[in-house]
Amino acid sequence: MFHKEGFKIILVTLIVFILINFAATYGIPQNWLRYLIFGISAIFLILILQFFRNPKRIAEINTNHVVAPVDGKVVVIEEVFEKEYFNDKRLQVSIFMSPVNVHVTRYPVGGKVVYSKYHPGKYLVAWHPKSSEENERTTVVVNSPVYGDVLHRQIAGALARRIVNYAKVNDTAVQGSDSGFIKFGSRVDVYLPIGTKINVKLNQKVKGAETIIAASSPIA
């Protein structure tokens, strides 16, 4: 299954793949060159298909849990001052996505969307310390019955050039359902109340909607 955000790019890539290899088949006499063109174009097509894949994830909805919003690797777990919405200290958990990860963004908690804003910006590498404040990004806050307001922020990376955000104020957010999509390499930050029990470690690989990154009670 592929994400709807990739349909147009996949179609264009497929057409280009067919045209290039048709031209190579009938216009290039050297077999080795035709095979090389086919191999390179096939790899590119596979990478595009892999990037826009959208595996079905059925989150076990639990108001005591905060699930990973994306697939990737945990690169930050620290107490920070969040100045866009909270204007106080929060516990930040950041997940970096490489181009080969699934790039669907999912709601880490369920509740009511109380804030959703897009910010144009730079395209620093996603792990840069200032990327959370200076890169193109969207900020979404969901009011959870257990955690109160939980913020997750999509951040564009050096390759990302389009962030898609579906969240609108007053929407009902369903934990694990689609919140947005980021095209080509990026990161997502989650801001939780100070004292929240974090259930992941630095450099741990996580899966969106499946890995529990925080819990308000012991996990069975």
Domain assignments of the chain as residue spans, ordered by start = 4-51, 65-215
Of the candidates 98, 132, 186, 216, the residue annotated as catalytic is 186
CATH code at 65-215: 2.70.70
pLDDT score, position 181: 87
**What's the distance, Cα to Cα, between the start and end of the chain in Å?**
32
User: Is residue 216 among the annotated active site residues?
Assistant: no
Single pTM value for the model: 0.81
Query: Nearest CA to 95 among 195, 194, 205?
Result: 205
For 126-180, write each residue's pLDDT tens digit.
Answer: 555 565 666 788 999 999 999 999 999 998 866 655 788 999 999 999 999 999 9
- The two tokens of residue 74 are 């945990």
DSSP-based three-state secondary structure for 192: strand
- Of the pLDDT bands very low, low, confident and very high (cuts 50, 70, 90), residue 216 is confident
Query: Residues 184-204: pLDDT tens digits?
Result: 668 899 999 999 999 999 999
The residue-averaged pLDDT of 67-72 equals 94
Asked whether the beta carbons of 138 and 168 are under 8 A apart, the reply is no
The helices-and-strands tally (H runs, E runs) of the chain is 3, 14
User: What distances in angstroms separate CA 168 from CA 68, 82, 179, 211, one per listed residue?
Assistant: 20, 21, 10, 25
